[in-house]
């Protein structure tokens, strides 16, 4: 077994779509990032990379590489999901939490899980939660959104 944790956060800005978990969520602001700024996919990707012992998301998808400018974070996640299988592991569980004062996210969980499952992570091993930060910190002031993810990998039987 291997366990990995991931974290990401991005500032909310006007003039950009809000993309979380691979879907566009209607909101007046979006997340600033070199790619699409999808903090949830970034946290999951980072958790998987950590469980594989392969560093962090910045090593694999540097913000200095023009290839990843405005790229879908689902593409990055898919690449690491494929690497996970190549290393002989299956994804046994993904647990996540998104911290955002607004927008309300619970109504989007099903679509998020379906989008993430398109990367090869089994739908039934994905758990998505959302919390507010009770108006504290940058999330609570509506300045940004953060996400945490934990994953469990199991060695596949040969």
User: Tens digit of pLDDT for each residue in 88-144?
Assistant: 999 999 999 999 999 999 999 999 999 999 999 999 999 999 999 999 999 999 999
Tens-place pLDDT, residues 53-76: 999 988 998 888 888 888 899 999
Tokens found for residue 45: 């990707």
pTM, two decimals, is 0.95
Short-list 39, 27, 32, 26, CA closest to 149: 39
Cross-strand bridge partners of residue 153: 2, 91
Tokens found for residue 89: 């592991």
End-to-end CA distance of the chain: 15
Cross-strand bridge partners of residue 148: 7, 97
CA gap 97, 61 in Å, rounded:
22
Cross-strand bridge partners of residue 97: 129, 148
Contact (Cβ atoms closer than 8 angstroms) between residue 29 and residue 13: yes
Contact (Cβ atoms closer than 8 angstroms) between residue 18 and residue 29: yes
Q: What is the pLDDT of residue 71?
A: 87
CA gap 17, 125 in Å, rounded:
27
What domains appear along the chain, each with residue ranges and CATH number?
2-155 (3.30.1330.50)
User: Residue 158's pLDDT band (boundaries 50, 70, 90)?
Assistant: low
CA distances from 15 to 18, 78, 80, 114 (A): 10, 27, 29, 26
CA gap 43, 97 in Å, rounded:
9
Which residues have C-beta within 8 Å of that of residue 83, sequence separation ≥ 6?
A: 48, 52, 54
Q: What is the pLDDT of residue 66?
A: 83
Tally of CA atoms within 13 A in the half-sphere of 79 that contains its CB: 12
């Amino acid at each position: 077994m291997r366990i990995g944790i991931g974290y990401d956060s991005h500032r909310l800005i006007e003039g950009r779509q809000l993309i979380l978990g691979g879907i566009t969520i209607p909101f007046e602001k979006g997340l600033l990032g070199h790619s699409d700024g999808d903090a949830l996919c970034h946290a999951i990707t980072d958790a998987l990379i950590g469980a594989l012992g392969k560093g962090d998301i910045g090593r694999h998808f540097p913000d200095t590489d023009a290839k990843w400018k405005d790229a879908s974070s689902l593409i990055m996640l898919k690449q690491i999901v494929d690497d996970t299988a190549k290393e002989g592991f299956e994804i046994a569980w993904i647990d996540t939490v998104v911290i955002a004062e607004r927008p309300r996210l619970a109504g989007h969980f099903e679509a998020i899980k379906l989008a993430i499952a398109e990367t090869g992570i089994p739908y039934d091993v994905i758990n998505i939660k959302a919390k507010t930060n009770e108006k504290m910190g940058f999330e609570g002031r509506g300045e940004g959104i953060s996400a945490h993810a934990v994953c469990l990998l199991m060695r596949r039987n040969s």
